[in-house]
Amino acid sequence: MRRTAPALLALFLLAGCGTAAPTVDVDDPMGTAGDAVASIGAIDIRDAAIAPAEDVEGGIAHPAGSDVALRFVAVNSGDAADRLVSVSSPLAGDVDVSGEQALIGGSTLLVGDTGSAVPAAAASVTRATVTLDGLRRSLSVGPTYPVTLTFERAGSVTLELPVDDPDRG
């Protein structure tokens, strides 16, 4: 048994090694370089961007007509519960929001593939997906694009989101 414990510990530690997605400290008000950040009421939005393209051809990351995911972290630093009611953008014919949209006081909502670290003090963590369906125009890496998040209690905030650069490291 004594020889088994160190071997199991070593196996456990090695299992945690490998390549992981970059993390973002959601307690850091600056977020990731280039990503949009905002605060509205008790809700802090961090690490907000349009998902990266797998291939960028001719400067186009996402062609017109395609669907593209958003990513962001919403932290409710207040005591009262809130909820992501809707997402809108002039870029899309429609916006699909699915998953858990509630934010109890002290909780964190992870939307999309954020690669973000969850704050240790978070009361709970929920996950959702937001997809801009049927882009009305092509999107490129570099410019920013307007997306409005509406929360039940905190209200609405419009962010200028960049297309995440897949080569950003």
Q: For the segment 110-120, what is each residue's pLDDT rounded down to a tens digit?
A: 999 876 666 66
The dihedrals phi and psi of 59, each to the nearest 5 degrees, come to: 85, -5
Position 42 scores a pLDDT of 96
Are the CB atoms for 92 and 86 separated by under 8 Å? no
- Catalogue all structural domains in the chain, each as residue range(s) with its CATH number: 22-162 (2.60.40.1890)
CA torsion through residues 145, 151, 156, 157, sign: negative
**Mean pLDDT per 10-residue interval, the chain, length 169 residues:** 42 34 36 74 95 82 95 94 96 95 92 72 84 96 95 97 75
Distance CA 67, CA 54 (A): 13
- Determine phi and psi for 131, rounding to 5 degrees: -125, 130
Quote the tokens at residue 8.
């199991």
pTM exceeds cut of 0.85: no
